[in-house]
Structure 1
């Protein structure tokens, strides 16, 4: 049982850390770079990125972080580790919900506008997408996922002290 508990906690920590990196990279690099681009580039590049990110590696981390943290919480043996894992689970569940309720519908609406070469008013499509709203919610995802990662890292430290 010890090996299963530790393996689940390590896997939860790794996948959550990967997701903190993904959301963080979008926050401080991808959206900043796209924000400096013209409307055609913004719409086309964002659509391409959104299509590309839905792949097995991303989904393994995105869904895996939630499932593995839940498994870790279920397997956590006591009061020293469980609060940290539960905090991580709550934070990442919030991130998961924001992604599904806010960011994905915004992404889908931008994709539904069609190919940039077929859009008569790219500025209107970009404006309707609302970069500021997308980025604000992504900042929440970045901070919450980073905090969840920190909680899981601390759970590993506590696990190590317990022996």
Structure 2
């Protein structure tokens, strides 16, 4: 696999992840907030179960890993941009997901967190993931310019 191809795959993965998080914050969650809380909870539980699929794992885990590999394979400034993208993606997407969003999803699923408490906090942290993913996307783009 050539370095350029790896960098382009890394760019696409970060773009897909950014789009996923952005879509939830700007349309899915506002749409659920506009419905009956019981229906919103049921819908979000279903979404949380169905989103766990190979395509999510490819994008979610692949984004920071591809940037890290690109960093190791690139030279000079390109390597620094890819390493920065990997770090931002890992901290702003992976760690936030594991530490905040997934536990909240589990609480919603268990019925221990009502949707009125879940939605604003979950959306705020999801928006953080969207911003971090967008920053990582830009960093990958900068790495591409240095190849």
Q: Does 1:7 align with 2:5?
A: yes
Shift, 1:157, TM fit: 2.2
Shift, 1:5, TM fit: 2.0
TM-score (norm 2): 0.92
Question: Conserved in 1, the CA contact under 8 Å of 2:78 and 2:145?
Answer: no
Aligned length: 146
Query: Which ranges of 4 or more aligned residues in structure 1 deviate by more than 3 Å?
Result: none
Aligned partner (choices 122, 125, 129) of residue 114 of structure 2? 125
Q: Distance in 2 between matches of 1:26 and 1:48?
A: 14
| Secondary structure at 1:130 match in 2 | helix
Q: Which of structures 1 and 2 has the bigger CA Rg?
A: 1
Q: Does 1:146 align with 2:134?
A: yes
Shift, 1:152, TM fit: 0.6
Q: Distance in 2 between matches of 1:130 and 1:30?
A: 14
TM-score (norm 1): 0.84
Q: Does 1:157 align with 2:145?
A: yes
Shift, 1:7, TM fit: 2.3
| Secondary structure at 1:81 match in 2 | helix
Shift, 1:73, TM fit: 1.0
Aligned partner (choices 69, 78, 82) of residue 81 of structure 1? 78
Matched residue, 1:134: 122
| Secondary structure at 2:35 match in 1 | coil
Unaligned segments of structure 1, at least 5 residues: 115-123
Q: Does 1:62 align with 2:60?
A: yes
Unaligned segments of structure 2, at least 5 residues: none
